[in-house]
């Protein structure tokens, strides 16, 4: 089927299944164009919690669909490709976190939303890159805090708050591939362009950025800043909404290798199949969902 035919079929199925399509900003452009809502983890989580749709087709990776299933247990949550996972989320297991908690009674755990439901269930509160600083700032300073699983986001939060955090040794492979030398080369190639970076990047790269923020924060910054040229140190999928929203501005990827293969597994064809078959379904066992719900709800309240 052509892209046009797939889009028509998708619209038919969406109406038939009473579905809403949510897509992360790192998804392929054609997937973003077919979605009802495009955004970052925090924004999409809030939409998943409040939607009246019967079916949520979540075009992202597994932990995102899992979070939607926890927030909307009465709805059918679909992930177009069941293999769309997150390497960072796999860098900590619930057993590892459980052992840390046993060794550190009374300590607090902040779980980045890029983690499994089982890890979230062992956390005190969750966060996204958009509200991580705010979340940690609200915790008692006399409490020991473990930030999981992203060491780079954790270091950024600690530096912003001048607070010591214990950091799990996890990272996003896509953002980790971006090096400070790339920033230097990009500035030489595009003099005068502003460099906006995601806090999942290495600290040495963040030191060279003009602006640091979440996906939605970068989009807002580029929209509101009068500059006409930007270098973007984040997953390259974000370039699509940036260019779409700002046709008079120029956006350069820091590097073309900042491409998450998991985010790119979803496609229009797989979206159609998912709504045709109502598979693959992402669900969370009720007892686990109940434990994970509170840390997520605390995140959404911030």
* pLDDT at site 42: 79
- Asked whether the whole model's pTM tops 0.85, one would answer yes
76 and 10 in a single domain? The answer is yes
Token pair 């939060």 is at which residue? Answer: 157
Is residue 125 domain-shared with residue 187, that is, in the same domain?
A: no
Q: Output the pLDDT for position 37.
A: 96
Same domain (yes/no): 149, 196? no
Number of domains present in the structure of the chain: 3
Q: Is the pLDDT of residue 27 over 90?
A: yes
Domain that holds residue 145: 89-171
Q: Are residues 178 and 167 in the same domain?
A: no
Q: Are residues 70 and 31 in the same domain?
A: yes
Per-residue model confidence as pLDDT tens digits over 30-73: 999 999 999 998 789 889 889 999 999 999 999 999 999 999 99
**Structural domain includes residue 302:** no
Q: Do 206 and 190 share a structural domain?
A: yes
Instruction: Kindly tell me if the per-residue pLDDT of 94 is higher than 90.
Output: yes
Same domain, 55 and 18: yes
186 and 239 together in one domain:
yes
| Residue at 295 is within a domain | no
b or e along 36-63 (b: 16 or more beta carbons within 10 Å of the residue's beta carbon)? Answer: eebbbbbbbbebbeebebebbbbbbbbb
Q: Which CATH number do you get for residue 246?
A: 3.40.50.10800
User: What is the percent of the chain where pLDDT is above 70?
Assistant: 100
189-205 residue pLDDT tens:
999 999 999 999 999 99
Residues 141-150 have a mean pLDDT of 97
Claim to verify: residue 139 and residue 181 sit in the same structural domain: no
For residue 302, what pLDDT band results from cuts at 50, 70 and 90?
A: confident
How far, CA to CA in Å, does 244 sit from each of 24, 172, 237, 239, 247? 15, 26, 12, 8, 6
pLDDT digits 0-9 by tens, 270-281: 999 999 999 999
* Residues 193 and 217 both lie in one domain: yes
Residue 301 is assigned to a structural domain of this protein: no
Residue 294 belongs to some domain of the structure:
no
User: Does residue 248 sit in the same domain as residue 269?
Assistant: no
* Residue at 206 is within a domain: yes
């Amino acid at each position: 089927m052509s892209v046009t035919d797939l889009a028509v079929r998708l619209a038919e199925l969406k109406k038939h299944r009473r579905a809403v399509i949510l897509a992360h900003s790192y998804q392929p452009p054609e997937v973003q164009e077919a979605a009802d809502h495009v955004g970052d983890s925090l924004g999409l989580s809030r939409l998943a919690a409040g939607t009246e749709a019967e079916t949520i087709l979540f075009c992202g990776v597994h932990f995102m669909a899992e979070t939607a299933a926890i927030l909307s247990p009465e709805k059918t949550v679909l992930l177009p490709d069941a293999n769309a996972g997150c390497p960072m989320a796999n860098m900590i297991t619930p057993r590892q976190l459980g052992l840390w908690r046993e060794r550190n009674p009374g300590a607090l755990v902040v779980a980045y939303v890029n983690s499994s439901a089982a890890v979230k269930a062992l956390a005190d509160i969750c966060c996204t890159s958009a509200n991580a600083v705010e979340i940690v700032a609200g915790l008692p300073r006399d409490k020991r805090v473990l930030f999981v699983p992203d060491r780079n986001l954790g270091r950024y939060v600690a530096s912003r708050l001048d607070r010591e955090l214990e950091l799990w040794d996890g990272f996003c492979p896509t953002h980790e591939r971006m090096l400070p030398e790339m920033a230097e080369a990009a500035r030489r190639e595009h003099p005068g362009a502003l460099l906006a970076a995601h806090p999942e990047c290495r600290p040495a790269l963040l030191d060279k950025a003009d602006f640091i923020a979440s996906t939605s924060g970068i989009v807002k910054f580029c929209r509101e800043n009068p500059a006409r040229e930007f270098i973007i140190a984040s997953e390259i999928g974000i370039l699509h909404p940036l260019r779409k929203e700002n046709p008079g501005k120029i956006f350069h990827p820091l590097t073309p290798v900042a491409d998450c293969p998991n985010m790119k597994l979803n496609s229009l064809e797989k979206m159609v199949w998912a709504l045709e078959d109502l598979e693959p379904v992402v669900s969370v066992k009720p007892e686990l969902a109940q434990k994970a719900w509170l840390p997520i709800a605390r995140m959404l309240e911030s």
